Chains A and B, each alone.
Chain A
Amino acid sequence: MTINTLQIATIWLDGCSGCHMSLLDMDEHLEKIAHLFDMVYSPLVDSTSLPASVDLILIEGAVSSEKDLEHLMNARKSAACLVALGDCAVTGNVPSMRNSFSLSDVLATSYQKDVSANPQIPTGFVPALLEHVTPLHAHVQVDHFLPGCPPPASAIFALLSHLLQGKQPDVSKLSRFGS
């Protein structure tokens, strides 16, 4: 590990993991930048806790549950630079489609409607859902936004390599809402 190696983490909130897949889709390009960072916490690596201070955190997914919000707040405290990765993190995207309905209606439709055997709404073991799904910047300051569902690997590569070299990325031409 050289002195300049940046510590990177990635976090998966309410998303489908597609943005993480797109990150891996960088394929051999990952190798070009691999020496510039250490992946210290991520669904893709083994470590189980987020260090108190990390240089860069990429977050996939919207804020849908109390747990998501807690993860996001911790991430913001820890991250020198925080990136909203993909449409769910940037706009709420597909998870936010439930915002047109009340949470109680959503839960009733999912767990009780047309269920004949002991219909019930879970009260423990799974994180409680928030009334509305929100993008990251509804709660914390986001330093960079990378839209796309998912953002193309080339856009993630451009963003990462800029940030790793201490440059300001402009990815607005490399990805867009929807992708």
Chain B
Amino acid sequence: MTDHRLQNSVRQRHSLHPEDIVTLVIDGQQLTADPNDTLLTIAQAHNIHIPTLCFLEGISAYGGCRVCLVEVEGYGKLVPACLTHPAEGIIVRTQSPRVIEYRKKIVELLLSERNHICSVCVTNGHCELQQLASTLGITHIRYPGLFPSLAIDASNTRFIHDPNRCVLCSRCVRVCAEIEGAHTWDIIHRGIKSRVSADLNQPWKEAVTCTGCGKCVQACPTGALSEQGKAVGEMLKKRYTESTT
């Protein structure tokens, strides 16, 4: 899916003249932009904050989490800012009541899908999902928890994979494939049964492609990937840029 989207964006780039420039409005601000940029990067360049979760600077955009949804006047559907290129004259709203309500629902659904018990989580206090819930003003979850029974993989001597905290953002998959070049992780199964798995569903220690670099652990926005030996709240991710704050 990522490859397909990459190809699309590459095709778009080649079909445009370099002097092309579009004008658009984001949250009332008149802006000019390169049509190859995304609504997210354009907004960021003008200090307009759009929350993200699956987006991570330096790896391909994926469009999986939908937290960055924005409203474009005349478009029936909300669109993900991290994957949408600007068309001439569009009017974008990043904070309309409809957008905010959808973002809240998405984050609440993510929290209800796995077992997020922040008070006993290694990333308590440093988690992008927890932070998102807080900045969106989510004080409770309107959906009943699914409470799946998911085994923790602590077979790797240095890292732990806890699918109870995973949001399937695929940042681990992309950083491992695109930056480390190992492609140890991928997503198996479909829909609600989807899981991140190492080397065709092996315990991590048996994943021969893994170089042990730890990039996946640092890229993961939640407590789903952590270093061994971290207690509650001790897992701080080492990153130069934060995409959600």
State whether A92 touches B118 (Cβ < 8 A). Answer: no
How far does the alpha carbon of A108 sit from the alpha carbon of B170 in the complex, in Å?
38
Residue of B whose beta carbon sits closest to that of A102: B149
Interface SS, B side: loop
State whether B139 touches A90 (Cβ < 8 A). Answer: yes
How far does the alpha carbon of A92 sit from the alpha carbon of B141 in the complex, in Å?
11
Q: How far is the CB of B118 from chain A (nearest CB, A)?
A: 3
| A36 at interface by CB-CB < 8 Å | no
The contact size tier of chain B is 20 to 34
Q: How far is the CB of B16 from chain A (nearest CB, A)?
A: 43
Interface 9-mer from B1-9, B31-39, B42-50, B120-128: B120-128
Q: How far is the CB of B220 from chain A (nearest CB, A)?
A: 17
A-B contact count (CB 8 A): 72
User: Which residues of A lie under 8 Å from residue B120 when comparing CB positions?
Assistant: 94, 97
State whether B140 touches A90 (Cβ < 8 A). Answer: yes
User: Which residues of B lie under 8 Å from residue A42 when comparing CB positions?
Assistant: none
How far does the alpha carbon of A91 sit from the alpha carbon of B147 in the complex, in Å?
12
Within 8 A of A (CB), among B111-138: 111, 115-121, 124-125, 130-131, 133-134, 137-138
Which residues of B are interface residues toward A (Cβ below 8 A)?
111, 115-121, 124-125, 130-131, 133-134, 137-141, 144-145, 147-150
Give me 20 A-to-B residue pairs in the complex whose CB atoms sit less than 8 angstroms apart, sorted by A's number.
A87-B119, A90-B139, A94-B120, A97-B115, A99-B145, A99-B147, A132-B147, A135-B140, A135-B141, A137-B140, A145-B140, A147-B139, A149-B118, A149-B119, A172-B137, A172-B139, A173-B134, A176-B118, A177-B133, A178-B121
